[in-house]
């Protein structure tokens, strides 16, 4: 694993955006695996800026997102599809029909998951997967458990994740309790993985996930086994790294 420590969130976002830009420039028809959450927002802003300057062209790029809440429609402003459109896709020249997010409205779990597995297969693999990491070590919505789940699956979100997400909903009851997520195998098959972490409140999990044992109890720890993972964090997130 490679670690890049930056001064602050702004610089972390710029370094990560530079790596994604390099990917898009080197392979204009690349497949980007994307994440939602607060950490990647600065990256998307930076990429939009470079697109507006004429430095980036997303017209041949395909994207596959990690996850989506089960039962939320794409026009629900809390859905991850809505988030991606609002914060990234609506501002660049990507074809929306080449941007994939699990279908939250498909309530048949088996079908929703096998449909998404087929999509991941049909794009012939992810060139670069962007990841944030949850306080409990989740990646996508692969929550701590007894085993690594391989492919797209429906998860009961951990209590801590529901609590963390509650800030985005007007009442706790509205916070979805289940989600569809890409599995660990699909994530690990990405050619390159970019993990972004920011803030003191990620310091413990950074140390545990990337310097502790590889265990499904800390899903992000599996990334230690990936041949090309780069973790970019600001100095607060890296404060416990020796």
**Residue 79, SS3 per DSSP:** coil
**Distance between CA atoms of residues 148 and 35, nearest Å:** 19
By beta carbon distance, the residue nearest ligand F6R is 132
d(CA 110, CA 26) in angstroms, rounded, equals 37
Is 94 or 187 the residue whose CB approaches ligand F6R more closely? 187
Cβ proximity to ligand F6R, 30 vs 187, nearer residue: 187
Nearer to ligand F6R, 23 or 36 (CB): 36
| Distance of closest approach, residue 196 Cβ to ligand F6R, in angstroms | 8
- Joined tokens for residue 146: 């007894």
Question: Judged by CB under 6 A, which stretch of 48-56, 84-92, 94-102, 134-142 contacts ligand F6R?
Answer: 134-142
143 in catalytic set: yes
d(CA 32, CA 30): 6
Q: Tell me how long the chain is.
A: 242
Ramachandran class of 210: left when φ > 0, alpha when ψ lies in -120 to 50, beta otherwise = alpha
58 or 69: whose CB is closer to ligand F6R?
Answer: 69
d(CA 41, CA 12): 11
67 is catalytic: yes
Beta bridge mates, 99: 63
104 vs 134 by CB, closer to ligand F6R: 134
Active-site residue, selected from the candidate residues 103, 117, 127, 138 = 138
**Is 109 one of the catalytic residues?**
no
Return the ∠ at Cα 40 (arms to 204 and 110), rounded to 5°. 90
Binding to ligand F6R, residues 2-41 (CB under 6 A): 35-39
Which of 65, 103, 117, 143 does the annotation list as catalytic? 143
Give the interface size with ligand F6R as a residue count (CB under 6 A): 13
Shortest reach from residue 19's CB to ligand F6R, in Å = 17
138 is catalytic: yes
**Interacting positions 138-177 with ligand F6R (CB under 6 A):** 138-140
* CB atoms closer than 10 angstroms to residue 186: 23
Sheet with strand 2-6: strands edge to edge: 2-6, 229-234, 192-197, 128-131, 31-34, 62-65, 99-100
Provide Rg for the chain, Cα atoms.
17
48-87 residues near ligand F6R, rule: CB under 6 A: 66-67
Tell me: does residue 183 bind ligand F6R (CB under 6 A). Answer: no
Interacting residue ranges for ligand F6R, rule: CB under 6 A: 35-39, 66-67, 132-134, 138-140
Which residues are designated catalytic? 67, 136, 138, 143
């Amino acid at each position: 694993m490679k670690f890049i420590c930056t001064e602050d969130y702004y610089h972390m976002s710029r370094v990560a955006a530079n790596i994604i830009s390099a990917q898009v420039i080197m392979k204009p028809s690349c497949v980007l695996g994307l994440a939602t959450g607060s950490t990647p927002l600065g990256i998307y802003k930076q990429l939009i800026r470079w697109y507006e300057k004429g430095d980036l062209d997303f017209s041949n790029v395909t994207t596959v997102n990690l996850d989506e809440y089960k039962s939320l429609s794409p026009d629900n402003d809390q859905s991850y599809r809505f988030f991606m459109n609002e914060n990234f896709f609506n501002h660049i020249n990507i074809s929306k029909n080449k941007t994939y997010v699990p279908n939250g409205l498909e309530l048949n779990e088996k079908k929703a998951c096998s449909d998404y597995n087929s999509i991941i297969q049909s794009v012939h693999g992810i060139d670069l997967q962007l990841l944030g990491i949850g306080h409990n070590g989740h990646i996508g919505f692969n929550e701590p458990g007894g085993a690594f789940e391989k492919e797209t699956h429906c998860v009961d979100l951990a209590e801590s994740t529901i609590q963390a997400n509650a800030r985005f909903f007007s009442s706790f009851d509205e916070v979805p309790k289940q989600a569809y997520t890409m599995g660990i195998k699909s994530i690990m098959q990405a050619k390159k993985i970019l993990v972004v972490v920011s803030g003191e409140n990620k310091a413990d999990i950074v140390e545990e996930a990337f310097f502790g044992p590889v265990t499904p109890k800390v899903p992000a720890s599996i990334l230690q086994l990936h041949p090309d993972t780069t973790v970019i964090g600001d100095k607060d997130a890296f404060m416990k790294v020796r």
